[in-house]
Amino acid sequence: MKTIISNPKVALLLGASLDVLHQESKEWLDTIAFWKDETKFFANLLNRKEAKTSEYAKMLSNLDKIHENLFDYLEDDIVQHEKVLSRLYKGQKGLSDGDYREKHRSLGERMDLFTNNFREFKKMVFGYVKKF
């Protein structure tokens, strides 16, 4: 079965050299490192607020979910993906360039989804902080 790719940037990247895909993975890791710093900032900001409303509890719960996804899954998957790339470069048998590219596409979709979810979380935090 052939995967249909609706985003032209994704289609272009999946046809790109492995070096370009490696660079994109590095950018994802840099973005995640920035998000980690942001989540620390948000946690400190929210902890300073005196009101412990249900909205506050919901934000802290969402922050915990962000940490779980961010630290335990997405970053680790990208690092593992980079390790496969290293093995591909070394010519290790049993690895498929096509499989690597498909995994890269999947990681890109996860990054996009997480970016959108994180953006919504930030709006919620800023909306809450503005009330005080």
Which residues have CB under 8 Å from 10's CB, separation 6+?
105, 108
Instruction: Report whether pLDDT(35) > 80.
Output: yes
Q: Residue 22's closest CA among 83, 99, 106?
A: 83
Instruction: Report whether pLDDT(51) > 60.
Output: no
Q: Given this model, what pLDDT does residue 49 score? A: 64
pTM: 0.74
Tell me the pLDDT band of 4, cut-offs 50, 70 and 90. Answer: very low
Kindly state the tokens that stand for 51: 């009101």
Distance, CA of 71 to CA of 84 (rounded, Å): 20
- Rounded to 10 degrees, what is the CA torsion of 74, 78, 84, 88? 140
Distance, CA of 124 to CA of 75 (rounded, Å): 24
Kindly state the tokens that stand for 29: 């890791």
